[in-house]
């Protein structure tokens, strides 16, 4: 059983529901990450509506904020401006570890 600390909290009562999940769907928290600058096209997660949501950095603005596009079509609005403290590098859970995205320069190329 899992009880969420932020997501799915009832706005009227403040209660947080218990939900049943398979152990294979439960992940540990990411290790603490230092704030970092992002590049256009880089995969990132944005803290929005009490949760982290996957997307991509579209543009860095002069004030240090970033234009972000959510990958999910269920997010509204699709584009949001976030400050650096609301963004983190996207990581994927793979074989028991949080793995950062592979950079293009790290990809093997066959010729």
Domain edges within the chain = 33-101
Candidate CATH numbers 3.40.50.150, 3.40.50.300, 1.20.140.10, 2.30.30.140; the one for domain 33-101: 2.30.30.140
pLDDT value at position 55? 95
Is 32:91 a contact under the CB 8 Å cutoff? no
Q: How far is CA 65 from CA 37, 54, 58, 99, 108, in A?
A: 10, 17, 11, 25, 33
Confidence of residue 85 (pLDDT cuts 50, 70, 90): very high
pLDDT for residue 64 is more than 60? yes
Cβ-Cβ contacts under 8 Å for 75 (sequence gap 6 or more): 48, 53, 55
Alpha-helix residue ranges (DSSP H) falling in 1-111:
none
Is 40:57 a contact under the CB 8 Å cutoff? yes
pLDDT for residue 33 is more than 60? yes
Please give the model's pTM, rounded to 2 decimal places: 0.73
Give CA–CA dist 60/66, Å, rounded.
5
> What's the rounded mean pLDDT across residues 25-54?
87
Percent above pLDDT 90 for the chain: 38
pLDDT value at position 7? 66
> What's the rounded mean pLDDT across residues 60-67?
95
């Amino acid at each position: 059983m899992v009880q969420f600390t932020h997501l799915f909290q009832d706005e009227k009562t403040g209660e947080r529901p218990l939900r049943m999940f398979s152990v294979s769907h439960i992940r540990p928290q990411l290790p603490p990450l230092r704030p970092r600058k992002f590049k256009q096209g880089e995969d990132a997660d944005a803290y929005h509506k009490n949760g982290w949501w996957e997307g991509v950095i579209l543009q860095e603005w002069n004030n240090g904020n970033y234009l972000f596009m959510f990958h999910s079509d269920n997010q509204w609005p699709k584009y949001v401006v976030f400050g650096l403290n609301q963004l983190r590098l996207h990581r994927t859970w793979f074989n028991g570890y949080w793995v950062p995205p592979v950079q293009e320069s790290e990809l093997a190329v066959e010729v």
